[in-house]
Structure formats: structure tokens, C-alpha cells
Amino acid sequence: MIIHEGTVDIETISTFEKGPGRISPGFYNRTMELSRDMSVALLKVLKPGVALDSMAGTGIRGLRIAKETEWTVVLNDKDSRNTEIQKKNAALNSLDLEVMRGDYFCAVSSRKWDYIDVDPFGTPSGLVDAAIMNLKNNGIVGVTMTDTANLEGKSISKGHRIYGSRSIKGIYSREISTRIFAKYVIERGASLGRAGRILLSIRDGHFIRVFVRFKKGNMVADDSLKDLKMVNVGGEEIGPVYTGRLYDPEILEKINGFHLSDYSQKVLSNFKNEDLMFLFYENSNGGREVKKSRIIEELQNRGHKAGNTNFSEKGIKSDAESEEYRKIVSLL
Ligand SMILES: C[S@@+](CC[C@H](N)C(=O)[O-])C[C@H]1O[C@@H](n2cnc3c(N)ncnc32)[C@H](O)[C@@H]1O
């Protein structure tokens, strides 16, 4: 079957329109279009270099990067059936690029890279260090985790063991899980003498993805740990979590003009709100639900920044202090 995404046509063997899908060669998952859109958009605004799509599947992410940006791309997958599909897909899109078949660790350590994409099924635990080690100075890692239940659901203790932080269930779980995953990747970098700086973070569907730039140096690496903290949420001590910016404002500004899928565009429009505050307010007043758009409008009328958050249907992010927020909601 041939599917179309971004500017490429891709031959797939199995196509999943929703959810995580099932592991198989030639697998295409529509839910991940957002994640791929953001990889393309991010690399488009950065100085071009050499990118490795280390777990490429059909090759769709790397092929999109090669077609839609100025970057040079290398594809890799351990499964020879995917290698064959990647070659066909490169030809289908008139792209001439290097395709490797090999284990992740061989591919990432075969040279130094400006960008490495790590897109496993499940957790990237055990993979992240090798990517960071094989980046050029100031190189970037884009990494996905799809074991969100370990940080948001029933398996909080498993998440603690894998990611080294205690998470939380309930309405704040999606923001907390994203911040724990960001912490995890920054911490791995610091242990290797690299300072990680978050460029973009995404929490959507069944996955979390962060894009992190790494700079070499022990002093900067020490410094990168300053935003990793324990936090109190509703009386519970959780973390450590990354409490810094989830988005680079300059990158957001540049990406904003791009033509992305309608869904990616909608998600992107909320990114600018996410760093207005840690966590978010809910649109209720003593159990009475107040229309979100009315609250946001009123906050803006009073000179505050305010908007929706991708972390919760009911959430509002604003730079207004909580007392001011409560006062405004009580008047509506
Ligand atoms: C989630 S899929 C990647 C999807 C793809 N990036 C996309 O956007 O459609 C994970 C891929 O990693 C490959 N893979 C799993 N373990 C690997 C390893 N150790 N080395 C290289 N590739 C591996 C699998 O064959 C599979 O194609």
C-alpha cells in the first residue's frame, strides 16, 4: 500500500491509522505523523548537517527530512526487510541516500552525527547514552518513548525503576511524565559530560518525544542539572522532574510559519503556552465548570498571557498568579 505524508509517498506493508500499532516490517503508523512533522520542522530551521534515522522502519522520517530540508540523511534498521523497503521508498521519491542494515549500536557509532533519531517501540532506556556519545559537539538527539503507562498509569513503580523518578497519576500525569522523560535524557547527557538543552517536547497519543541539543563540557553538564528537581504536587513529593522550558522560543517562532498537517498545526499552536507556568489551572470554580474560552479571554483582557495546553483537555496555562486566576474565574 502507498501512503502519502508531508511531501513523500511511502510503500508500507501494514498501516495503522490509530494507536501504537503492531511490530512488523514495513510498518506505518499515522499517529506518529506529528512526531515526524516536528522532526522535519525542527531540522528545517537549524543549520544543515548529517542525520541518522537509526531505527527507520519504512524510512519515512528520514526520507521526509531528506526531501523537506537541506540535511544529508542516512537510514538504518536491523531488519533486512525494512532495508529493502527503504531502498524502494528512496527510489519512489527520487532520493539518493545511504541505507545501512545493522544494529542500532553499530549504526550510531559508525561516525559522529549532527542529529540522531531514536524511535524504538517502548522504552529507549539503554539506547540514549550511545546516541549522546556519538553526537558532534552541539549535536541533537530526537528520542521517543512509547511506554507512557510506566509514568502515567498502573506501573508507576516500573517507571521509577526505568526513568529514575517517581511519577503521579491523574490530571497532571501527562505533563509530569513529559518532564520526567526530559529529565531522564538530560541526566544521561550529564553523566557523559554533556549539557542537554531541550528544544521541543511532545506528549501526544501513546508517546512522548523530546529533542535535545548536547554541548560538551563538565561545567556546563553540572549546570544542566540545576533544573532537575523534586516538586510537590497536591501534597505529594514527586520527581525529580525537569522544571525548565519545554520549548525553545526562537525555534517555535520560526516553525510557526510552516505548513504542517492540520493536527500538527493545532498542537503546535499550544506550544507557546506550555512554558507560561509549571502544570496548569483547571477550568472549574468550586466544582462548577466554566467555559475555557471565556476564562482565557478574560485573562487576556486583563493583560495576562493565557491559552490551551496539550497536556489536558481541561487545562489552561497562564502567567496570572493563582489568586488572580481564582478571582477571575469566580466572576464568570
Ligand atoms: C517504531 S519503529 C520505527 C518507526 C519509524 N521511525 C517511523 O517513523 O515510521 C522501530 C524500528 O526499529 C527497528 N529496530 C528495533 N531494534 C533495533 C536495533 N537494535 N537496531 C536497529 N533497528 C532496530 C525495528 O525493526 C523497527 O523498524
Domain ranges in the chain are 2-254, 271-331
CB 228 within 8 A of CB 169: no
Residues 6+ positions from 316 with CB-CB distance below 8 Å: 280, 281, 282, 283, 292, 295, 296, 299, 306, 307, 308, 309
Q: Which of 149, 110, 153, 103 is nearest to 126 (CA)?
A: 103
Residue 221, C-alpha cell as written in the block: 553538564
Q: Which residues, judged by CB distance below 6 Å to any ligand atom, belong to the binding site of ligand 1?
A: 32, 36, 55-58, 60-61, 77-79, 82, 103-104, 119-121
Q: Ligand 1 centroid to 135 CA: how many Å?
A: 19
Classify residue 52 by its DSSP letter: E
Class of domain 2-254: alpha beta
Average pLDDT in the 287-311 region? 95
Identify which has the larger pLDDT, 26 or 30.
30
CATH number of 271-331: 3.30.56.70
Q: Is 115 helix (H, G, I), strand (E, B) or coil?
A: strand
> For the whole model, what pTM was predicted?
0.96
Neighbours of 322 (CB within 10 A): 10
pLDDT number for residue 21 = 63
Return d(Cα 54, Cα 274) in angstroms, integer: 30
| Ligand 1, pocket-test mutation among 15, 24, 63, 78, most atoms within 8 A of CB | 78
pLDDT tier at 19, thresholds 50, 70, 90: low
Average pLDDT in the 144-149 region? 96
Average pLDDT in the 39-62 region? 97
